[in-house]
A and B are shown apart, each in its own frame.
Chain A
């Protein structure tokens, strides 16, 4: 089975800190995604990457950046964390063809205080 591993399940950071959320997949998937999930708002796409060093903005990229230096790893960076970035963050990966769907990690619940 494909595994998508997010480095932390729970994270508490202070306002203004630079925060790194790490995601690693072990099945050579081309595509990787970062979503945030908030009650009543569903899943909102932050960034995605379809190849190493390639990235595209999703629906809510403001305040975030990403890095994909290796195929298996996709990092989400909060340049200066703010309280409105308190959320559940979900990483997903997939093969290039959408027919296969996504595999999700277990999520990181980030609290910014």
Chain B
């Protein structure tokens, strides 16, 4: 079965510093990959997704992620953190085992703290 691992449940950066949130998946077949963001007391919002086109994917709010098949990774980055980036971030991978039911498998989430 497909699985996804987010390294680090909490990440803290200073405002203006690089943001790097790590995500690794387990699959011999390149999956579809997603990053979602959740602001306090809200639902999840799609940041970006990889669907086998370009390996470097740009999303909203200045975030981007690079699909690296050799490393089975899909890390999320942003060059310069802003206070408003403080949120919880979830990586998700398509569950190929579920055929056409469109299920995603979510990581445990990483809380990003941005310090002034």
Chain A interface residues (CB < 8 Å from chain B): 4, 9, 30-31, 33, 40-43, 45, 48, 50, 56, 90, 92, 94-107, 109
Known: A31-B101, A101-B34. A90 touches B41 (CB 8 A): no
Q: Which residues of B contact A41 (CB under 8 A)?
A: 108
Q: Which residues of A contact B106 (CB under 8 A)?
A: 42-43
- What is the minimal beta-carbon distance from A3 to any residue of chain B, in angstroms? 11
Q: Residue on A with the closest CB to B4?
A: A42
Known: A42-B107, A43-B106, A98-B94. A48 touches B101 (CB 8 A): yes
- B116 CB–A CB distance under 8 Å: no
B102 x A98 contact (CB < 8 A): yes
B42 x A106 contact (CB < 8 A): yes
Chain B interface residues (CB < 8 Å from chain A): 9, 32, 34, 36, 41-46, 49, 51, 90, 92, 94-95, 100-104, 106-109
A99 x B51 contact (CB < 8 A): yes
Q: Residue on A with the closest CB to B108?
A: A42
Q: Which residues of A contact B92 (CB under 8 A)?
A: 101
Q: Can you name 23 A-B pairs with beta carbons within 8 Å?
A: A4-B43, A9-B41, A33-B103, A41-B108, A42-B90, A42-B107, A42-B108, A50-B100, A56-B101, A92-B43, A92-B44, A95-B102, A96-B102, A98-B95, A99-B49, A101-B49, A101-B92, A104-B36, A104-B45, A106-B43, A107-B42, A107-B43, A109-B41
